[in-house]
Structure 1
Amino acid sequence: MAKPPLIFKRSTNALLNYLDASVAVGDLLPSESRMAELTQGSRTAVRSALAYLHNRGLIAGLDDRRLLRKPQDDDYFEETELQSGAVRIQEVLMERIYRNDLPPGAAFSEAELARAAGASTISVREFLIGFSRFGLIEKKPQGGWRLCAFDRTFAMELEQVRRMFEMAAVEQLLSLPPGHPAFDQVTELVARHEQLKAGLPDNYEQFPALDRELHTFLIGLLNNRFAFSLNDVVSLVFHYHYQWDKELEKPRIEQAVLEHLALLRALAKRDRAAAQAAMNKHLDSARSTMLDAVLNRSPDAAQHQSAH
């Protein structure tokens, strides 16, 4: 039997969150078009989600859409089920880079990445071939792959495009109507950042995943395939550089968490000026950190360090 499509699972979980937060037992669900808007999916996906809710006993029927009970944990699809094979592969690659298992120039094979991601070697090969167009990984002539370093020109070009998309994402979020589910996610991200901040510096290794979640959430609001592709590169590069200078890693992460919180709090208040300023400050910090990493990684810097 074929697996249910990702858009159905994501729409179902989003709808369950809405029912839990905003619909009382006995009340009617909103219209299909409204549910499609709330779940950021299609009406087809909403109809599949409604059939699922009916089978689970949450609603009376496909015509009588009254909520019979509140959602429970086992009604939701697991987070791992909401990820495509490419997402799992990228997360494994990111994790290995962040743990310093893959420093610049390190080689790795399709088979080892496939085992770690629980994916087929064909899926891994397709992902790596697609990702290699950005110049961050390259295929070795004798087989396998190598992680590449990047230079100042690459860093500046990436930062310029990143700023364009992420500032547009801030505007997109602030244009949504009050009560939109996206603001519930903002509130959740605020709470999770505050929890992370309270545990610093002991739990700093949790930051990359939360950082990627925040920026993926913002970019996702644009519903732009080019922005999604860029976000993959940004996630890799802007954590790739952290491992180049472990000495300053923790204070950089502490600063980034504070910048995230300033942005999220401004978004939660729908304060456009504060949100724009916070995002610009965060992007400025990320650019400065990345360019410092590139400079410190240059051959001249390496020779200077070896001379001392």
Structure 2
Amino acid sequence: MAKLPITTRRSINLLLEHAANHLKVGDAMPTEMQMTQIVNSSRTAVRSALAHMVEHGLIAGMKQRHLLRRPRPDDYFDVTELHSATEQLQQVLMERIYERDLPPGAEFTEVELSRAAGVSTIAVREFLIGFSRNGLIEKTPRGSWRLCAFDSKFAQELGEAREMFELRAIERIATLAPDHPAFARLADLLARHEALGKEPAESHAEFPALDREFHSFLISLLDNRFAENLNEAVSMVYHYHYQWDKRDELPRNQYAVQEHVAILRPLVGGDLPAAMAAMRRHLHSSRSTMLNALHARESSMPQA
């Protein structure tokens, strides 16, 4: 099973701490809005944490959130698991891109990223050198780093590689035993996507985190280091380009949620051909959206 995102692990620890300090067995967990305040994160992170608590017998279910037992020491994630330098750096870099602090072409220093992520400059340098192989960042002559714009050819090549790995992941699911833990995770992802699909458009701003979790889980089923390395680039690129045009972000997210549901329902129901067809449609749609954004940006740039 895929390793839980760092935000989910932190949220689990904070909810466990709240339950240990404020609840008795049989009491209900706080409301979803209250829990987002407790963990200081999104509803997506809260729901992922609740799903983990259900899986480990701490609460009765995603709707019936009554505490079944007191948290034990082994329920908590070790502090060292919450501070992976690579995860911290990826998260900080992605967040700064999402918040538009680092638009394409912006420069940043290793010290700047080190302070923001709370890791050493040595860890930052190693991370940036490794990540630069994807062609998304580059070292400048002044010793800082620059976020690179990428062209349609780069996007097309990445989309083709992504399709190869993710369709293979769908095929891998067909080989799993019926009681494999992956099916419980797929059912949970389906329930969360369906719940998000019923919420107002504004709530779909939370979709990128769920999108990364969905695709990362599929890739993890391959247990392939090359696929996982590619997924890091895909995760960044397929959200990175939205920096350039956020005018249709919410409708785009709403549409993508339904595309995910169209993949997850047949996966949970055991219909591999339908899942494969839905995945092909989703990857084609996602790649087309990115290429259109790139073309729009290129056409709007002033001519030299």
The reply to whether TM is greater than 0.5 is yes
Q: Aligned equivalents of 1:93 and 1:149: distance in 2?
A: 15
Q: Aligned equivalents of 1:168 and 1:289: distance in 2?
A: 23
The aligned counterpart of 2:246 is 246
Q: Which amino acid aligns with 2:219?
A: I
Higher alpha-carbon deviation: 91-100 or 152-161: 91-100
Are the equivalent residues in 2 in contact too, given 1:243–1:249 (CA < 8 A)?
no
Give matches, 1:142-181, under 5 Å: 142-181=142-181
The aligned counterpart of 1:292 is 292
Q: Aligned equivalents of 1:239 and 1:256: distance in 2?
A: 12
Q: Which amino acid aligns with 1:169?
A: A
The aligned counterpart of 1:64 is none
Give matches, 1:14-25, under 5 Å: none
The aligned counterpart of 2:189 is 189
Higher alpha-carbon deviation: 252-261 or 186-195: 186-195
Q: Aligned equivalents of 1:189 and 1:196: distance in 2?
A: 11
Deviation (angstroms), 1:266: 1.2
TM-score calculated relative to the size of structure 1: 0.72
Cα distance change on mapping 1:71 and 1:204 into 2, 3 Å? same
Does residue 265 of structure 1 match 2:265?
yes
Higher alpha-carbon deviation: 288-297 or 186-195: 186-195
Q: Aligned equivalents of 1:258 and 1:205: distance in 2?
A: 14
Give matches, 1:201-280, under 5 Å: 201-280=201-280
**Aligned residue pairs: how many?**
239
Structure showing greater Rg? 1
The aligned counterpart of 1:92 is 92
Q: Aligned equivalents of 2:182 and 2:70: distance in 1?
A: 19
Query: 4+ residue stretches of structure 1 with deviation over 6 A?
Result: none
Deviation (angstroms), 1:105: 0.5
Q: Aligned equivalents of 1:250 and 1:180: distance in 2?
A: 34
Q: Which amino acid aligns with 2:221?
A: L
SS at match of 1:150: coil
Deviation (angstroms), 1:296: 1.3
Q: Which amino acid aligns with 1:241?
A: H
Deviation (angstroms), 1:141: 0.9
Deviation (angstroms), 1:117: 2.0
Q: Which amino acid aligns with 2:293?
A: A
Does residue 75 of structure 1 match 2:79?
no
Q: Aligned equivalents of 1:244 and 1:161: distance in 2?
A: 23
Deviation (angstroms), 1:199: 2.6
Q: Aligned equivalents of 1:78 and 1:245: distance in 2?
A: 38
Q: Aligned equivalents of 1:114 and 1:177: distance in 2?
A: 44
Cα distance change on mapping 1:256 and 1:155 into 2, 3 Å? same
Structure with higher RCO (Cα < 8 A, 6+ apart):
2
Q: Which runs of 5+ in 1 are unaligned?
A: 1-5, 14-68
Cα distance change on mapping 1:141 and 1:176 into 2, 3 Å? same
CA deviations on 1:99-158 (whole Å, 9 max, x unpaired) are 211111011122222222222111111010000011100111112111000001101110
User: What value does the CA root-mean-square deviation take over the aligned residues?
Assistant: 2.4
Q: How many percent of aligned residue pairs carry the same amino acid?
A: 55
Cα distance change on mapping 1:221 and 1:83 into 2, 3 Å? farther
Cα distance change on mapping 1:179 and 1:241 into 2, 3 Å? same
Does residue 301 of structure 1 match 2:300?
yes
Are the equivalent residues in 1 in contact too, given 2:167–2:276 (CA < 8 A)?
yes
Deviation (angstroms), 1:206: 1.4
Q: Which runs of 5+ in 2 are unaligned?
A: 10-67
Are the equivalent residues in 1 in contact too, given 2:205–2:250 (CA < 8 A)?
no
The aligned counterpart of 2:101 is 101
Higher alpha-carbon deviation: 198-207 or 143-152: 198-207
Q: Which amino acid aligns with 1:196?
A: L
TM-score calculated relative to the size of structure 2: 0.73
SS at match of 2:247: helix
Cα distance change on mapping 1:71 and 1:218 into 2, 3 Å? farther
Q: Aligned equivalents of 2:116 and 2:184: distance in 1?
A: 33
Q: Which amino acid aligns with 1:173?
A: I
